[in-house]
Structure 1
Amino acid sequence: MRVVLSTYGSRGDVQPLAGLAVKLRELGAEVRVCAPPDEEFAQRLAAVGVEMVPVGESVRALASGASSPTVDFPTRVARLVGQFHEAVAAAAEPGGAVVATGLFPAVAGAQAAAERVGARFTYVALQPTMLPSPHHRPFEFPSQPYPPELTDHRELWEFNIGTMNALFREQVNAHRASVGLAEVENVRDHVFTDRPWLATDPLLGPWRQPAEREVVQTGAWLLSDDRPLPADLSAFLAAGEPPVYVGFGSMPLHGAPDAGPVAIEAVRALGRRIVLAQGWANLAPVDGGDDCFAVGEVNQQALFTRVAAVVHHGGAGTTTAAAVAGAPQVVVPQIVDQPYWADRVAALGIGAAHDGPAPTVDSLSAALEQVLAPEVGARAAAFAGEIRTDGTAVAARLLVDAAG
């Protein structure tokens, strides 16, 4: 059985597929991952022995502004649909499976490829807010704001059908027609299907009931990481009290360019040491102080068990990793689903949600002081034991069993 896993997005989109790929291979499946051509993604997949098919432009270059789009939005949509259709169709086989997440045009291309090849298709959301529900609002595209008088969640999701059609239907249907597939009226629901999967922990990111749509919640897709921490980082950790980790992952932080220096000052104001993750914002120490240690790519699963708190952007992967490690969190949300994860962390009592994407020394110090309280640490440690870690095993078994 061949399974093609497809995404166009940041590391938070690619790494869950790597975790699923490992479990599928253990069950005897042949797996290929269609993903952006960024070297860091290729290296991570190669490290676990998974074949990667590079598709499209570098996501990091686009996000950081190093590679500015030279075409308009409709052309970019059409290009992504076509690129992922071609890649997935070449990799998939009749009777096999295609699993897709990430940017909508890439998912639409993967879905059309599965349909044309005759493979089973599954759309997976990596956060509940991607899926229609009476319990939350749909994501608002900057170019397609919702009417201010429209506040009911069900009505907003109905309105969202028109928004998605306006943004994507013409290009999706043009491509479908070009490869001999029928055009679709409601492009969102056709691509998301009537039985999508949700790869989040049921406690950390639950699918709330009642809901009209049947959603299969597998648990979060985690990639086990047994890499040792670098010797110099281990020495820094052992040299004093647990430090505060600060990192914003795949966020370039265009709206908060001073977030690194602000975070360092805020942590120092509380008398704490800092582990500073460079990430896509290229965070760096502001001086030669021996209380600040900068890291690049590192095993978060091992590191987060040895820090006093985690300050981050609120990506699904980092939020889950900190929760599994039992580390209190301060979430400084930037875009899309990150405000949702910030709210969940605060509601569960395992951390704090920063108000807005641009912290100040005072605002971040206050949030850190809150989560460094003993009762928050105790709650975070207790919650860690409640999180399921078998999401990839559940999803892999569902895919293999469906093949008969």
Structure 2
Amino acid sequence: MRLLLSTLGSRGDVEPLVALAVQLRALGAEVRVAAPPDEEFAQRLAGVGVPLVPVGPPMRAMMAGTGGPSPEDLPALAAGVLAAQFGVVGAAAEDCDVLVAAGLMQVAARSVAEKLGIRYVYASYCPIMLPSPHHPPLTLPDRPSTSDVTENRELWDPDGKGFNELFGQALNAQRLAIGLPPVGNVRDHVITDTPWMAADPVLAPWLEPTDLGVTQTGAWLVPDDRPLPAELRAFLDAGTPPVFVSFGSGRAPEGAARVAIEAIRAHGHRALIARGWADLDLIDDGGDCFVVGEANHQALLTRVSAVVHHGGAGTTTAAARAGVPQVVIPQSVDQPYWAARVADLGIGAAHADPNPTTESLKAALATALAPETRDRATAVAGTIRTDGAAVAAKLLLDTATQNGRPASA
């Protein structure tokens, strides 16, 4: 059995596919991953014996830019992305039996699978990325205001129209070129009626009833047994557990390191700063702070007193699994959802403003560092599933020749 796993995004989009690829290989399948050509993605996949099929621009360079494309440039950009996907993903999937697409930017993937006559599975990492009467769609800057609409089902209509306006013409031109009929609803075409949800059911439950037949497998996590760097271990051993600050592979607020260190010091705690793609660094040479690059988060998070982060699905799930309290400072996309879930579950605090001050972060840390929050985080940790990737891999192989929804997850 051969499978192509495809995504377009940052580390948080690629890492779940690494986990799924590991489980598929353990079951005897051949796997390749189509993802952006960043060197760290290639190294990460090579480390688990999975080849990278590079597609699209490097994401780290794109994230380092000062702003996104203008609305006028978006149609041409969308057409370019689609052309690359049809070419690269189409070629990579030619000898495959299954194509798994993760994320709404995988607009060409279903058409590729349709042309090749192979099974197609769409996977989402967060419930609010799928249409539902239980939540509104994401608010995107290029979409018209719907402030006069309050019913969730109605709010999803302009969301679908926005996808059609951005991708419809380019997608249907590509489909026509390969002998496929046009599609009328791009978003629903991409996600299908039976998408998969690669998110933990306690941390991110899919609420029923809806019009979709969603299979929730649990988050796709890969075990990590890498030792922590010696200098980091020495810092951890030298004092009480620090507060860990990470904005992952996204942008960080202006002055994030300074604000975080000052707020952490105000609570009498040490600070551990992840350099990340935002290239955060220390603000002085105080011995109570340390900056770290790439490290095993599964090992690291068990040794910190709290985590301050951006609210990516992967970081939120990793912290919840480790039982460590969180302060989530959401920056964009689905991150406000994860912040709200952390607060609702009582395992940390949601910082409303994406640009914290020392005082506002100090207040949020007071909630996270409270004994009752630690107790609640410990309790919730015991409910987080760790078998999501294994469940998904078995379902993929068991249902590889079917077109319907798997019976269970």
Q: Normalising to structure 1: TM-score of the pair?
A: 0.96
Q: CA deviation at 1:93?
A: 4.0
- Once residues 225 and 153 of structure 1 are traced to their aligned partners in structure 2, the CA distance between those partners, rounded to angstroms, is 39
Tell me the amino acid that sits aligned with residue 392 of structure 1: A
Tell me the amino acid that sits aligned with residue 8 of structure 1: L
Q: Secondary structure at the match of 1:78?
A: helix
Retained in 1: the 8 A contact 2:202–2:384? Answer: yes
| Correspondence for 1:334 | 331
| Correspondence for 2:340 | 343
Retained in 2: the 8 A contact 1:38–1:60? Answer: yes
Aligned 1:111-130 pairs, distance under 5 A:
111-130=110-129
Q: Which moved more, 1:163-172 or 1:23-32?
A: 163-172
- Once residues 184 and 272 of structure 2 are traced to their aligned partners in structure 1, the CA distance between those partners, rounded to angstroms, is 50
Q: CA deviation at 1:157?
A: 1.1
Tell me the amino acid that sits aligned with residue 398 of structure 1: L
Matched, 1:232 2:231: yes
Tell me the amino acid that sits aligned with residue 379 of structure 1: R
Aligned 1:5-404 pairs, distance under 5 A:
5-65=5-65, 72-93=73-94, 96-104=97-105, 107-253=106-252, 256-403=253-400
Retained in 2: the 8 A contact 1:2–1:93? Answer: no
- Once residues 207 and 403 of structure 1 are traced to their aligned partners in structure 2, the CA distance between those partners, rounded to angstroms, is 24
Q: CA deviation at 1:94?
A: 6.0
Q: CA deviation at 1:145?
A: 2.7
Q: CA deviation at 1:158?
A: 2.1
Q: Secondary structure at the match of 2:108?
A: helix
Tell me the amino acid that sits aligned with residue 396 of structure 1: A
- Once residues 95 and 31 of structure 1 are traced to their aligned partners in structure 2, the CA distance between those partners, rounded to angstroms, is 9
- Once residues 82 and 99 of structure 1 are traced to their aligned partners in structure 2, the CA distance between those partners, rounded to angstroms, is 19
Q: Which runs of 5+ in 1 are unaligned?
A: none
Q: Which moved more, 1:77-86 or 1:7-16?
A: 77-86
Report runs of 4+ in structure 1 exceeding 6 Å deviation: 66-71
Retained in 2: the 8 A contact 1:127–1:205? Answer: yes
Retained in 1: the 8 A contact 2:124–2:130? Answer: yes
Q: CA deviation at 1:68?
A: 8.0
Retained in 1: the 8 A contact 2:4–2:96? Answer: no
Q: Secondary structure at the match of 1:72?
A: helix
- Once residues 239 and 96 of structure 2 are traced to their aligned partners in structure 1, the CA distance between those partners, rounded to angstroms, is 56
Q: Which runs of 5+ in 2 are unaligned?
A: 402-409
Percent identical residues: 59
Q: Which moved more, 1:256-265 or 1:6-15?
A: 256-265
Tell me the amino acid that sits aligned with residue 199 of structure 1: A
- Once residues 220 and 349 of structure 2 are traced to their aligned partners in structure 1, the CA distance between those partners, rounded to angstroms, is 24
- Once residues 400 and 94 of structure 2 are traced to their aligned partners in structure 1, the CA distance between those partners, rounded to angstroms, is 12
Q: CA deviation at 1:65?
A: 1.1
Q: CA deviation at 1:85?
A: 1.7
Q: Secondary structure at the match of 1:108?
A: coil
Distance verdict in 2 for CA 1:12–1:368, change over 3 Å: same
Q: Secondary structure at the match of 1:382?
A: helix
Retained in 2: the 8 A contact 1:324–1:387? Answer: yes
Tell me the amino acid that sits aligned with residue 282 of structure 2: P
- Once residues 133 and 328 of structure 1 are traced to their aligned partners in structure 2, the CA distance between those partners, rounded to angstroms, is 29
Q: CA deviation at 1:95?
A: 6.6
Distance verdict in 2 for CA 1:143–1:204, change over 3 Å: same
Q: Which moved more, 1:303-312 or 1:166-175?
A: 166-175
Q: CA deviation at 1:4?
A: 0.2
Retained in 2: the 8 A contact 1:125–1:199? Answer: yes
Q: What count of residue pairs does the alignment treat as equivalent?
A: 400
- Once residues 292 and 117 of structure 1 are traced to their aligned partners in structure 2, the CA distance between those partners, rounded to angstroms, is 54
- Once residues 138 and 183 of structure 1 are traced to their aligned partners in structure 2, the CA distance between those partners, rounded to angstroms, is 25
Q: Normalising to structure 2: TM-score of the pair?
A: 0.95
> Once the two structures are superposed, what CA deviation does each residue of 1:100-125 show, in whole Å capped at 9, x if it has no partner?
11352xx1112211111111111100
- Once residues 199 and 68 of structure 2 are traced to their aligned partners in structure 1, the CA distance between those partners, rounded to angstroms, is 33
Retained in 1: the 8 A contact 2:146–2:155? Answer: no
